Structure 1
């Protein structure tokens, strides 16, 4: 059983990851900030707080500069697509699509590299894909296809980012370096979308909270807890993130808890659980941002 400190850090990390969807949706839904500005503030502020944490922990410029441009590019694609998708997607639906896409990406790459799935895992994969079909099936409560596609792209990008970071000995330092490299890309996006820029005090506060607290410090909390968690426990707790996001969206943002969302969510998360909890060794699990394992 994890200790009290590990439990607290894990809970805080899961709440932080779920809150990213709520903060982004809040900023965009109220028109207090545009997607380009949100992405730029989130990545720049996240980079600064992560760099500060690394410097305080070990005053070494090399540790902060350990990012890679390939990983930074995937990180930027994730953050940009995430923000653009939430212009139209409800927070609960977006979190579910993101989580499912990350898992599908990481499991798919594993299969391509020669991994073999047990019968129960194949059943879980089919169940999760069926849930995705239910969620995206045309109908009155179906999410917009364009926005859904952007969120699926965000999930694929985060899955690729996580796979590139596999085996990192200092995940906080690597993440700090990647954020620093991704920040100029976000500023370029902001510049290209300057004609659509809209920033209010409330929107800036949401974006700063997303960058500093629920991204930067949320990652630090997760990486601090992760070494003390068993692989199965780490996989299990991450299944809570879409549920937390959906619950927060209903209670805080006034979104509807539809039958379609409930059925699709149960199928996707249940299917993912069957796949990742049966995997030997460290599971291919994410979250926002999840372990680079």
Structure 2
């Protein structure tokens, strides 16, 4: 398989579309919370997307269930994935979608900090450490706003769950890299995450006593279908295709547009306010990601 060192127009178009969808995803999840609980929403999304990944894999002859030593790594990745989206969906009850999408993009720095423990050749340079410090400073600057936000006394709690989700997302990436999943097909890795999270999140919803909506409005069908089919199934598979064919470092820089799309979508679709502090934090986060991704 040939891996391109530069992004061609097709790759850029697919990548920007994925980033747009990921930015809007938080808005769709928050909007749906008026009709479905956060844990049921996250769990059922994994059920539907996992079934679609299985159908896709069967149609392409991808072997998902042969023994390759990836079981325990897959279970770990799935539990981390479940905890990540549990934090995101519960956190959206307390904070805005615009703030959530910024906080969860702290994940690349978690990966940068943990990767040298897994791959000794990926130790951080001085410039990358500067990027990490800048990013953490930006997050602290934005997080402090949650303690004094008027009319939203628990916004800091939603922000904290967003940071926790970023740590869990980074942990999932590290778990995949450190186990047999690193050599498994991308579809199998994704199915592990969706399958385990479907069971864990639906069980958590039952334990928490969340009511399962029996009557789904067209609005809820649309919001849920967008998350499960368009984002969790289609865009994730497109991302895996990009990773297979293009340099990961080139792709990483373009993901900076995701928080920006999330900010704009939250303002336009939900009427969320965007503070100067949050914009400044996003700018500092973007600079930090660029520094961390430079070699």
1:192 and 1:251 mapped to 2: Cα distance? 35
Match of 2:128 among 121, 127, 130: 121
Where structure 2 has 5 or more consecutive residues not aligned to the other structure, the ranges are 1-5
Q: Which residue of 1 aligns with 2:52?
A: 49
Deviates more, 1:217-226 or 1:1-10: 1-10
1:250 and 1:244 mapped to 2: Cα distance? 10
Q: Which residue of 2 aligns with 1:184?
A: 199
**Displacement after TM superposition at 1:96 (Å):** 0.8
Where structure 1 has 5 or more consecutive residues not aligned to the other structure, the ranges are 280-293
Match of 1:151 among 151, 157, 162: 162
RMSD between superposed Cα atoms in Å: 2.4
Deviates more, 1:41-50 or 1:132-141: 132-141
Q: Which residue of 1 aligns with 2:37?
A: 34
**Displacement after TM superposition at 1:148 (Å):** 1.5
Q: Which residue of 2 aligns with 1:95?
A: 101
1:238 and 1:64 mapped to 2: Cα distance? 34
Q: Which residue of 2 aligns with 1:289?
A: none
Match of 2:141 among 134, 147, 154: 134
Deviations 1:11-68 (A, max 9, x none): 232222222212111112xx12211221122111111111111111115452699662
Q: Is the partner of 2:183 in helix, strand or coil?
A: coil
**Displacement after TM superposition at 1:176 (Å):** 1.6
1:239 and 1:64 mapped to 2: Cα distance? 37
Decide whether the 8 Å contact of 1:23 with 1:210 is kept in 2.
yes
1:227/1:59 Cα in 2 relative to 1: closer, same or farther (>3 Å)? closer
Decide whether the 8 Å contact of 2:95 with 2:156 is kept in 1.
no
Decide whether the 8 Å contact of 1:51 with 1:64 is kept in 2.
no
Deviations 1:174-220 (A, max 9, x none): 21233122211122122123344456422343123211211111111
Decide whether the 8 Å contact of 2:39 with 2:204 is kept in 1.
yes
Q: How many residue pairs end up in the alignment?
A: 275
Match of 1:77 among 71, 75, 83: 83
Decide whether the 8 Å contact of 1:23 with 1:206 is kept in 2.
yes
**Displacement after TM superposition at 1:112 (Å):** 4.6
